[in-house]
């Protein structure tokens, strides 16, 4: 599938990895809808990038909000060929700390956004992609989800985050097997430590220490490197049902 011929949705597209994907795809000629809860950032990015970009203020954990955003986006774009799920949170918290047991609501919030929200967008996207005429490879669409290195190397304080991202990893192959019957590929990227707005809030010394954790290159990942992999996945039809770690050989320590 050629990016220049695509209409795509990017969740969490107003900042971080999602924003990098929006810029990459628009630069390659695609039309893109941004799903994000950050209205001001989303509208600003859409205005900057021009008429090929549509913004829909969306809460991906809510059925009605996501369905409305999906319907409006497909109407604006004309079709839906690609979905990139980047929306997520990285809230941390030990199961038990000096404050007592982790509130169940805190654990559930992470699961709802990172895992349930991802699946919510996927299920609605498949419905839309089935309307597409298959290309010469029989392909109707591509879905790319975002996990994390924490799905495999979760640290102390990451039970909710690691569980949510491991869930994204776990549903990759079942979704690919199901959607393969429709000509839709499903892939997952598991990034390591990247330069994102969340990371920008850390002290400089902390960022430097984190940047030394990968084997090579010893630095934080750049959002545009994530976006470059997204573009390659879209255009390489043999990539399906797999999780790609994008982490410079990073293996996270226990703490």
Instruction: Report yes or no: 12 and 35 within 8 Å, Cβ to Cβ.
Output: yes
Q: Determine, yes or no, domain membership for 210.
A: yes
Computed on alpha carbons and rounded to an integer, the radius of gyration of the chain in Å comes to 18
Say what angle helices 16-27 and 39-49 make with each other, to 10 degrees.
Answer: 20
Task: Answer whether residue 198 shows pLDDT above 80.
Answer: no
Q: Determine, yes or no, domain membership for 68.
A: yes
Q: List the structure tokens of 196.
A: 């994102």
Task: Answer whether residue 14 shows pLDDT above 80.
Answer: yes
Calculated CA dihedral for residues 177, 193, 117, 10, nearest 10 degrees: -80
Residues designated as active site: 161
Q: Determine, yes or no, domain membership for 203.
A: yes
Position 202 scores a pLDDT of 67
Q: Determine, yes or no, domain membership for 250.
A: no
Domain range for 23? 3-244
Q: Determine, yes or no, domain membership for 150.
A: yes
Nearest one of 244, 140, 136 to 188, comparing CA atoms: 244
Average pLDDT, whole number, for the chain? 96
Q: Determine, yes or no, domain membership for 254.
A: no
Residues in CB range of 57: below 8 A, 6 or more apart:
36, 37, 39, 42, 69
pLDDT one-digit tens code per residue, 54-72: 999 999 999 999 999 999 9
Position 229 scores a pLDDT of 98
CATH, residue 71: 3.40.50.720
Calpha distance 232→242 (Å, rounded): 14
Q: Determine, yes or no, domain membership for 255.
A: no
Q: Determine, yes or no, domain membership for 235.
A: yes
Domain count, the chain: 1
């Amino acid at each position: 599938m050629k990016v220049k011929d695509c209409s795509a949705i990017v969740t969490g597209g107003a900042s971080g990895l999602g924003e990098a994907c929006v810029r990459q795809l628009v630069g390659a000629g695609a039309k893109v809808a941004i799903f994000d809860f950050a209205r001001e950032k989303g509208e600003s990015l859409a205005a900057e990038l021009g008429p090929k970009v549509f913004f829909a203020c969306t809460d991906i954990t809510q059925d009605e909000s996501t369905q409305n955003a999906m319907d409006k986006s497909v109407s604006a774009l004309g079709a839906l060929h690609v979905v990139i799920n980047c929306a997520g949170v990285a809230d941390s918290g030990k199961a038990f700390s000096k404050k007592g047991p982790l509130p169940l609501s805190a654990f559930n919030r992470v699961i709802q956004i990172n895992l349930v929200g991802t699946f919510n967008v996927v299920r609605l996207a498949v419905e839309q992609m089935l309307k597409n005429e298959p290309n010469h490879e029989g392909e109707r669409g591509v879905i790319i989800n975002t996990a994390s290195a924490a799905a495999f190397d979760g640290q102390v304080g990451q039970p909710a985050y690691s569980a949510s991202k491991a869930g994204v990893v776990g549903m990759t192959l079942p979704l690919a097997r199901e959607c393969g019957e429709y000509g839709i590929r499903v892939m997952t990227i598991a990034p390591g430590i990247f330069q994102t707005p969340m990371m920008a809030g850390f002290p400089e010394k902390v960022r430097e220490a984190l940047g030394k954790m990968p084997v090579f290159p010893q630095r934080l990942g750049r959002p545009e490197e994530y976006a470059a992999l997204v573009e390659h996945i879209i255009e390489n039809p043999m990539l399906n049902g797999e999780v790609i770690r994008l982490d410079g050989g990073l293996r996270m320590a226990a703490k």
